[in-house]
Structure 1
Amino acid sequence: MKFSESWLRTLVDPKLTSEELSHLLTMAGLEVEELDPVAPAFDSVVVAHVLEVVKHPDADRLNVCKVDTGSGTPTTIVCGAPNVAVGLKVPCALPGAQLPGDFTIKIAKVRGIESSGMLCSAKELGIAEEASGLLILPADAPVGQSIRQYLDLDDNQFELKLTPNRADCLSLLGIAREVGAITGAATSLPVVPEVPATIADMRAIVLDAPEACPLYCGRVVKAVNAKAPTPEWMKRRLERSGIRAISALVDITNYVMLELGQPLHAFDNTKLEGVVHARLAKPEEKLLLLNEQTIAVDADILMIADDVKPLAMAGIMGGEESGITLETSELFLESAFFAPKAIAGRARRYGFGSDASHRFERGVDFGGARRAIERATQLILEICGGQAGPVVEAKAALPVRQPVRLRTARAEKVLGLPLGAERIAGLFKGLALSFEQQGDDFLVTPPSWRFDMEIEEDLIEEIARLYGYDNIPSPAPRGRLKMQLQREAQRPAFRVRQMLADRGYQEVVNFAFVEAGWEADFAAKTEEADLIRLANPIASQMAVMRSTLFGGLIANLVTNLKRKQNRVRLFEVGRTFHRDAAAQPVQGFHQPWKLSGLAFGGALPDGWASDGRKVDFFDVKGDIEALLAPAALRFEKLAHPALHPGRAARILVDGKEIGCIGELHPEWVQKYELTAAPVLFELAFDALKAVVVPAYAEVSKFPAVVRDLAVVVDRDLALQALFDGLKKDLPALVIDLQLFDVYAGKGVPENKKSLALRVVMQDTQRTLQDSEVDVAMQHVIACLDKTFGAQLRA
């Protein structure tokens, strides 16, 4: 919303500078985006009257002019402007004048003739970008008056960046109300007298779509002079509001829109046939608009029409065939209220917009339609002459402004201010709000021009704006802080991340939205019912909620490999999403936190001590064991859609599965164009945060006895199964059992393998005797033979 400061100050004139007023408006929620002078600085330029024009004797394109600058003595000025002529009033820069561009006017000889000044164009004064000649002033311009004063060039242009809820400030009237309420300055709002009808001509109006158009006012004005010039003061105000002056009738409707906020439209009354209708579009109806665009009108478009043809898109743009021209002598003037829902988005649908649609779709004062048509009629009669008929008004059910209750105590609590009911009442009166006070509470009825007041919080916002956001204190927050207990059995989440970072992993953060293909590849979710699809995805390839973190890590690895990063260690902590009818707090969706990791490339960074070995399953297994230490982990064979069959395992702690580990499936290695299979793992994050509380155990002061034995067992026997069988029947002296070698080949029968086991025995109270150790070893051998058919290797 652009407007002229001098225009605003005719309505309300607070004792503030332009900069202070700008700051005050911004702090009241009406952000001033730009504040610019309408003209650059210059001085000593006056209105001059051209008395004589003679061709320069020594230059074909120059004229020698005698001009009256108000000094009493005509001044000689050499001028090259093509439009200079006797009798014109033009700006004249006197000797010593400083013009824009750091240009000083001096007395100088031009081709032998002394010139004492310069006749100026609008471009030379900095008030236009281009000019074809001198700036021609009206014939009644007072000679000798400063051009700055005459053209009001000390004015400023404000541009407000309004939020959509403040449609009431899309007019000078609305802004003046705001300034008056904020500053307490007296307002002098436009007085609009009722224009009496001098002719009986009228045109009937029918509301065929009363919900979309509940109010329509129309008036016939005859014998107007459409060629009458627009007054200079109106042109200036329009141009400084960003609207180009066109013709007197069009300019008047635009002026009233800017002044009162009510868009108007004028039809050529001689082109109308019968009754004026406000109706919805008919099937296959077309309309040629004022912008010379012919549109096929949709069925939900509100139209203004007569008995024969459509005339305009209501509240958006008029039709070319019923529009006014310089030959128009008879008008039908329209002022209406169109429901915002009936206008919103319609102009954008057709790829254009208008000042009218911008206002109507946000909400126009439905109590101001009659006043606007009277104001427009008044200006038309003053500028273009004519005779006005009576105002015809068709009305249906207008919006009902429901009272809103405001509790003083609530407002004080929200704003943190001891306002009091009396102070709040004063602020409401400044906004011209109608209210009923009930003790310390207020029952406020929003006015017809405020569509943004519906709930208590809206009124609290108004109080804050008027009180001044910068007047609301902002004390430092205070609170009683209490150190939270950190349970010994709970590891901080940061510590888990730090432990992985210490082992060379880097954390990544990926979107929880993934491609449906990732869910099929890494979670075997191929049925639509298995996927959790987003109703409104931010991109087509991010339409599904992830059930595993593997997809994001593989994508990260691909990105790194393309950038020649051949050793990659990544981990991510994030939620996964699964359907679960009993899940809480989001009904129907279980959202557990998971930690997932990936290792690819060398087991160690390249260097003189590195043998170039690639990372494998057991390297990552060691990282997981370090993360969960001192818990005893169990690894069991696993079939997983993302992992290599035979090189994947589930991870259990105390018999409970907490995750999985394995190499990426060869099919996905090929599909995602990887040079080798990365090792992946995924763990329940809660299991990582849970740690075993240390418990005291006596440390033996006596030496341990270590015995080794090699046994031959079936090749298919899993080591974990062997340890599980032994631990059920181990003698109390055996404190540890370790595998230190596996052999299959020459000297070992086919389908067999040799396992070399180290047995550690110790007692806390005494040194073990050889006889005790021998008995314990015989027990271990017997257990291996009985349970697994193991034979000592010769």
Structure 2
Amino acid sequence: MRAPLSWLREYVELPAGETGRDVAAKLIEAGLEVETVDRLGAGIHGPLVVGKVLAIEELTEFKKPIRYCQVDVGDANGTGEPQNIVCGATNFRVGDKVVVVLPGAVLPGGFAISARKTYGKVSEGMICSGGELGLPDDGTGILVLPPEYEPGADAVEVLELVDEVLDIAVTPDRGYCLSMRGIARETATAYGLQLRDPALLDVPTPNAEGYQVEVADPRGCDRFAARTVTGLRPEAASPLWLRRRLQKSGMRPVSLPVDITNYVMLELGSPLHAYDRTRLEGPITVRRAVAGELLTTLDGTKRKLDADDLVIADETGPIGLAGVMGGIDSEVADPEQDEQSGEWRGTTEVVVEAAHFDPVTVARTSRRHRISSEASRRFERGVDPEAAAAAAQRTVDLLVLLGGGTAEAGVTYFVTPHGPHTVKIPASHPGRVAGVDYPREAVVRRLQQVGCDVYGQDELTVTVPSWRSDLTDPNDLAEEVIRLEGYANLPSTLPRPPAGRGLTERQRLHRRVGRALAGAGYVEALNYPFVGADSFDQLGLAEDDPRRRTVTLVNPLSDEEPAMRTTLLPGLLAALRRNDGRGSQGSQGSLALFETGLVFLPTGEETRAARLRVDARPSEEEIASLGAALPRQPRHVAVVLAGPREQPGWWGEGRAAGWADAVEAARTVAHAAGAELTVRAAQFAPWHPGRCAALYVHGADGEEQLVGHAGELHPRVVKALGLPQRTCAMEIDLDAAESAGGGVVPAPSVSGFPVATRDVALVVDESVPAARVEAALREGAGELLESVRLFDVFAGEQLGSGRKSLAYALRFRAADRTLTAEEASAARDAAVASAAERTGAVLRGAEAAAGA
């Protein structure tokens, strides 16, 4: 909402020296969001006057129209002689009043005006268009003024060029501030001044002579006022002051009847509509549309109506969408002048509609037809229902005053009776909410400033004003008291958590995993939990893949992503693609991202949630029913990485990120969860079938449980998503890993006894997994084994076809003594024997000797 300060002063007698920034600061303190204060006319300096065109000489020797004009500027030039000005516009004639800028003046943008010779003539100034003065430019050319202004008059005052406009972002709960009346009320309250309410008008009593109106849906329309004005002069144009106020408020002048309805809407906040009475057939009816009815709205679009649409209709059918937009068949015609006779044609009889429509109905109709109009924005946020009659009267008064019309004696006013809304609130409630002791007198005074009627002592009975439909419960009233008393006066206090409470084990694990991955070089990326079918297609998931079974939202943010995610990979891979496309690789030239978050896995056993009451805390049974209606929501952690994992340099060759790095990230997560991870080769989309690992943990019952996958993505997936080549990823069920590990991570121990290291190289069949060999070594080595590490894999002709060599480093240590060489060697031999028995492994040297 744009509020000109000059207009605001009509309703609030502000101090003379108060600027727009001063008013903005007061309104911000009162809780309004003033985004900017525009200073209009700040770039205009020097003489800018009204001129009368006395003569025009057409200069025809140039390629474009050039006119040499004599303009009467009164005594503004100090001589009283006409001013000679060269102008290229042709939309004015002799006798017209125009805006003249004299030499020495400066126009917006630092454009200095001086007398200069052009097109063979000396031009002593300039005749201005609206755009050159900083006004909205309609493209018609020179700005032609109404004839009543005298030559030499100050055009800055005539055009109200100097002003300040407050641009206020009106939140949905403050719809009353979408009007000068509402903003003036807030300004008067902020300054402690009296409000001159523009809605306090003498409204005639309804009678049977007014235009016939039938309201078939009182719930959708509880107020409807109709007034008729006849005898309007078609040639009557909106006065300059009215057009300027509309322009400053961000609206375009159209014609007198339309401009007046827009002006009254901005002034009082009540949207109006004007019908050409000669184009109406029979009574006006407010009803629900018949499904399939057609209506061509003012924007020229033919719309197919829904049965839930509230429409204004006559005997021919719908003539407008109630509270949203009127129809083209009954609109007020633009005035036209007959070129031969000079007579004006246009609307001479107008029926004015001022109504109050149900906000929910208007909002749904607006969204259904994708129309966001000035009227719908106000009705959605709440319009004062009691202002309809005053708005209709104000419109009629202006049509009579400015259009030369006559108001008919008939007055139609439909009202659905209902009592005022009251709220009971303890006088101490605002203080308890704010943590500040507000006296009862302060609470009552602030509520009265809002417009409420207040009765009672310790418990107050508050009657809410009609323009504040947002005040529905005690907390709303408490907010009004607190904001008017001043948010700046609230003490700054830190919240005190209850004693004995800290992070849950799940939260501790979440942080532990995040620190571990960050330490490994990954950067956390948070993504929206929404996916679409295209995401699963790009990942190459089969049609029967369980991850395609999703929870679909009723009101998604995007129609392309209507479902909740079942995997973290779509969002994380999209983040990787964006960062790679924008050159946001890290200092090492690589990208490594991770995310920890919930996935949503429907089981098919969810029940329908019961609607909870709002006046009491839900019971345990109701909370349980809500839980039963939710899908399973395990916490997952995923990583994606691409590019070099180790940079080349003088220290040696670099290394690109590979599937093993993704597996190592899984080990990092499992270690943080206290779980022992087992890795096996697998085939699982979207990973490369030859470079994919399945991740297992041992559950509490000793059984292995699949918790995730890691490896290099399939080339088709990389191409479909536009990812860097050889992109790798890992995803693991963190809740399952936590359950397997018990959430306990053993602290590292430091032994005072030396370690005994033995290396073994075992030759096994190429199909034997290294993890299987490692498990056999661990089982055979016994309690003295501290760790096993695979440090080399070799395959060559000397081993034979289909064979490979796995070299392990075994570390042995006793907790209470120094191991002897014999003890270490015996443990090593037992480990090798176990591997030979379970995997067919043979010591590399022994195999060669046997072959010899």
Q: TM-score range by the shorter chain?
A: 0.7 to 0.9
Matched, 1:69 2:75: yes
Specify the alignment match of 2:465 in structure 1.
447
SS in 1 for 2:399: helix
Residue-by-residue CA offset, 1:503-522 (whole Å, 9 max, x unaligned): x6646657566788979999
| Structure 1 residue 242, shift from structure 2 partner | 2.9
Specify the alignment match of 1:7 in structure 2.
7
| Structure 1 residue 425, shift from structure 2 partner | 1.8
| Structure 1 residue 168, shift from structure 2 partner | 1.0
Distance 2:245 2:328 in 1: 27
Specify the alignment match of 2:613 in structure 1.
none
Would the aligned equivalents of 2:297 and 2:326 in 1 still touch at CA under 8 Å?
yes
Distance 2:104 2:712 in 1: 88
Residue-by-residue CA offset, 1:621-641 (whole Å, 9 max, x unaligned): 899599859999696989886
SS in 1 for 2:287: strand
Runs of at least 5 residues in structure 2 that lack an aligned partner in the other structure: 334-344, 607-622
Would the aligned equivalents of 1:197 and 1:389 in 2 still touch at CA under 8 Å?
no
Would the aligned equivalents of 1:521 and 1:641 in 2 still touch at CA under 8 Å?
no
Specify the alignment match of 2:30 in structure 1.
28
Distance 2:580 2:206 in 1: 86
**Structure 1's 160 and 628: CA in aligned 2 closer, same or farther, altered over 3 A?**
closer
SS in 2 for 1:361: helix
Residue-by-residue CA offset, 1:468-515 (whole Å, 9 max, x unaligned): 44x335647486999999999x9987666666676x664665756678
Corresponding residue to 1:43 among 43, 46, 63: 46
Distance 2:27 2:821 in 1: 96
**Structure 1's 658 and 560: CA in aligned 2 closer, same or farther, altered over 3 A?**
farther
- 1:713-752 mapped onto 2 (5 Å cutoff): none
- 1:565-714 mapped onto 2 (5 Å cutoff): 591=633, 624=667, 650-652=696-698, 656=702, 684-685=737-738, 687=741, 690-692=744-746
**Structure 1's 115 and 329: CA in aligned 2 closer, same or farther, altered over 3 A?**
closer
**Structure 1's 537 and 476: CA in aligned 2 closer, same or farther, altered over 3 A?**
closer
| Structure 1 residue 427, shift from structure 2 partner | 1.6
SS in 2 for 1:42: coil
Residue-by-residue CA offset, 1:100-132 (whole Å, 9 max, x unaligned): 565666788999999987766656655464664
**Structure 1's 233 and 438: CA in aligned 2 closer, same or farther, altered over 3 A?**
same
Would the aligned equivalents of 1:42 and 1:125 in 2 still touch at CA under 8 Å?
no
**Structure 1's 28 and 617: CA in aligned 2 closer, same or farther, altered over 3 A?**
closer
Distance 2:813 2:273 in 1: 103
Would the aligned equivalents of 2:37 and 2:166 in 1 still touch at CA under 8 Å?
yes
Distance 1:386 1:35 in 2: 40
Specify the alignment match of 2:377 in structure 1.
358
Specify the alignment match of 1:386 in structure 2.
406
Distance 1:232 1:186 in 2: 29
Distance 1:791 1:105 in 2: 99
Residue-by-residue CA offset, 1:66-122 (whole Å, 9 max, x unaligned): 653389974242244568877665555566555556566678899999998776665
Residue-by-residue CA offset, 1:235-277 (whole Å, 9 max, x unaligned): 3323332333333333322222222122222223333333321
Would the aligned equivalents of 1:566 and 1:600 in 2 still touch at CA under 8 Å?
no
Cα RMSD of the aligned pairs, angstroms, is 6.4
Greater Cα radius of gyration, structure 1 or 2: 1
| Structure 1 residue 31, shift from structure 2 partner | 2.8
* Residue identity matched to 1:41: I
Corresponding residue to 1:434 among 453, 470, 476: 453
**Structure 1's 479 and 123: CA in aligned 2 closer, same or farther, altered over 3 A?**
closer
**Structure 1's 302 and 371: CA in aligned 2 closer, same or farther, altered over 3 A?**
same
Equivalences, count:
776
Matched, 1:240 2:248: yes
Would the aligned equivalents of 1:214 and 1:396 in 2 still touch at CA under 8 Å?
yes
* Residue identity matched to 1:44: P
SS in 2 for 1:68: coil
Q: Which moved more, 1:639-648 or 1:403-412?
A: 639-648
Distance 1:630 1:319 in 2: 66
Specify the alignment match of 1:146 in structure 2.
154
Distance 1:598 1:156 in 2: 53
Distance 1:245 1:706 in 2: 92
Would the aligned equivalents of 2:287 and 2:311 in 1 still touch at CA under 8 Å?
yes
| Structure 1 residue 176, shift from structure 2 partner | 1.2
Would the aligned equivalents of 1:75 and 1:116 in 2 still touch at CA under 8 Å?
no
SS in 2 for 1:270: helix
Would the aligned equivalents of 2:74 and 2:151 in 1 still touch at CA under 8 Å?
yes
Would the aligned equivalents of 1:603 and 1:616 in 2 still touch at CA under 8 Å?
no
Would the aligned equivalents of 2:753 and 2:813 in 1 still touch at CA under 8 Å?
no
Specify the alignment match of 2:483 in structure 1.
465
**Structure 1's 453 and 618: CA in aligned 2 closer, same or farther, altered over 3 A?**
closer
* Residue identity matched to 2:745: V
Residue-by-residue CA offset, 1:411-432 (whole Å, 9 max, x unaligned): 2344343332222222222221
Specify the alignment match of 2:438 in structure 1.
419
* Residue identity matched to 2:441: E
**Structure 1's 341 and 71: CA in aligned 2 closer, same or farther, altered over 3 A?**
same
Would the aligned equivalents of 1:42 and 1:99 in 2 still touch at CA under 8 Å?
yes
Would the aligned equivalents of 1:493 and 1:689 in 2 still touch at CA under 8 Å?
no
**Structure 1's 48 and 273: CA in aligned 2 closer, same or farther, altered over 3 A?**
closer
**Structure 1's 131 and 768: CA in aligned 2 closer, same or farther, altered over 3 A?**
closer
**Structure 1's 70 and 463: CA in aligned 2 closer, same or farther, altered over 3 A?**
same
* Residue identity matched to 1:222: T
* Residue identity matched to 2:262: N
Distance 1:102 1:437 in 2: 62
Q: Which moved more, 1:124-133 or 1:227-236?
A: 124-133
**Structure 1's 785 and 26: CA in aligned 2 closer, same or farther, altered over 3 A?**
closer
Would the aligned equivalents of 1:46 and 1:145 in 2 still touch at CA under 8 Å?
yes
SS in 2 for 1:245: coil
SS in 1 for 2:35: strand
**Structure 1's 668 and 389: CA in aligned 2 closer, same or farther, altered over 3 A?**
same
Would the aligned equivalents of 2:12 and 2:193 in 1 still touch at CA under 8 Å?
yes
Would the aligned equivalents of 1:603 and 1:619 in 2 still touch at CA under 8 Å?
no
Distance 2:145 2:656 in 1: 89
**Structure 1's 678 and 410: CA in aligned 2 closer, same or farther, altered over 3 A?**
same
Would the aligned equivalents of 1:226 and 1:247 in 2 still touch at CA under 8 Å?
no
Would the aligned equivalents of 1:36 and 1:158 in 2 still touch at CA under 8 Å?
yes
SS in 2 for 1:11: coil
Specify the alignment match of 1:275 in structure 2.
283
SS in 2 for 1:62: strand
| Structure 1 residue 160, shift from structure 2 partner | 2.4
| Structure 1 residue 392, shift from structure 2 partner | 1.7
Distance 1:763 1:416 in 2: 60
Corresponding residue to 2:323 among 312, 315, 336: 315
Would the aligned equivalents of 1:289 and 1:320 in 2 still touch at CA under 8 Å?
yes
SS in 2 for 1:376: helix
Would the aligned equivalents of 1:192 and 1:375 in 2 still touch at CA under 8 Å?
no
SS in 2 for 1:230: coil
Q: Which moved more, 1:1-10 or 1:514-523?
A: 514-523
**Structure 1's 606 and 525: CA in aligned 2 closer, same or farther, altered over 3 A?**
farther
Specify the alignment match of 2:305 in structure 1.
297
Corresponding residue to 1:395 among 410, 415, 420: 415
Corresponding residue to 1:340 among 334, 359, 363: 359
Would the aligned equivalents of 1:633 and 1:653 in 2 still touch at CA under 8 Å?
no
Corresponding residue to 1:368 among 387, 410, 428: 387
